[in-house]
A = this chain, B = another copy of it.
């Protein structure tokens, strides 16, 4: 147990830097916040340091974190590293995942989704439907962004979330005979043209632009969700849920 009273402490400076993508990429670390996510990180074996405020300290179950460095910080310091309005007072510095081997039959591919709440919700939904991995292409919000992690509610610890090149992934999945479905309002087919199946990958795209046409050109088929009313489209996280559950079906 180490006590830190000064916001100028080197550790504090380092944690604060982890709120930026640049530093997360450089260090291979990320910061999680709140009891639930710290618990999930612990179970995933990714925790490097635990940080609690003085106020939180009496609630800290010490046995649970034995073997980990625990830092107790002055309450005020938590505001510097927190990205919520009312910090719970517990944080963890975690190692980023290293998923060298990924295997499976159900994939979600994400192209340039900008809103962290959407991306986190999509990761949560992919977990729920039993997907084997989520592949996040370039141009999307960072998967280790605090709001993404909060919206994912721990699901980022449950299945591989991989930053990758979507063109390469489409090739790789198709070589494994996994059908890859794009989503496109124009020149697509209603999702009902495809039967629910044991293996599939689905690509969903940017909130405004949809999936990049160069990706759509490589897919097995491009699908859309029928709109029966007068709205122009669905929210991308909702659309992802509808498609994933439809494609999985009642198996």
Binding site for B on A (CB under 8 A): 117, 121, 124-131, 151, 153-155, 158-159, 190, 192, 225, 227-235, 237-242, 245-246, 248, 250
Nearest CB of B to A148, in Å: 13
Please tell me if the beta carbons of A235 and B125 are within 8 angstroms of each other in the complex.
yes
Q: Contact check, B117 vs A231: say whether CB atoms are below 8 A apart.
A: no
Residues from chain B with a CB closer than 8 A to the CB of A233 are 128
> A241 to nearest B CB, angstroms?
4
Set of chain B residues within 8 Å of A124, measured between Cβ atoms: 231, 234-235, 238
Q: Is the CB of B245 within 8 A of A225?
A: yes
- Contacts of A128 on B, CB cut-off 8 Å? 225, 227-229, 231, 233-234
Partner of A242, one of B131, B155, B245, B250: B245
Give the distance in Å from the alpha carbon of A143 to the alpha carbon of B75 in the complex: 38
**Identical copies of this chain, number:** 2
Smallest CB gap from A36: residue in B: B232
A154 to B245 CA separation, bound complex (whole angstroms): 26
Which residues of the partner chain B approach A237 to less than 8 Å between Cβ atoms? 121, 235, 237-238
* Contacts A235-B121, A238-B121; A159 near B229 (Cβ below 8 A): yes
Contacting residues, chain B, for A231 (C-beta < 8 A): 124-125, 127-128, 153-155, 158
Question: Could you pull out 7 A-B pairs where Cβ atoms are within 8 angstroms?
Answer: A125-B238, A126-B229, A158-B230, A190-B250, A192-B250, A235-B241, A238-B238
In order of increasing CB-CB distance, the 6 nearest A-B pairs are: A130-B228, A238-B241, A158-B230, A127-B231, A127-B229, A192-B250
Closest residue of B by beta carbon distance from A151 = B235
**A129's contact among B117, B129, B229, by CB below 8 Å, is which?**
B229
Minimum Cβ distance to chain B for residue A103 (Å): 16
The complex places the Cα of A234 from the Cα of B126 at a distance, in Å, of 10
Closest to A124 in B: B231
Contact between chains at B248 and A130 (CB < 8 Å): no
CB distance from A194 to the nearest CB of B (A): 11
Give complex CA distance A124, B124 in Å. Answer: 21
Whose C-beta in chain B lies nearest to the C-beta of A192? Answer: B250
A228 lies within 8 A of B129 (CB): yes
Interface centre among A192, A225, A231, A237 (most CB of B within 10 A): A231
Partner of A158, one of B131, B229, B245: B229
* Complex: A154 Cα to B121 Cα, angstroms: 23
Q: Which residue of B lies closest to A227 (CB)?
A: B128
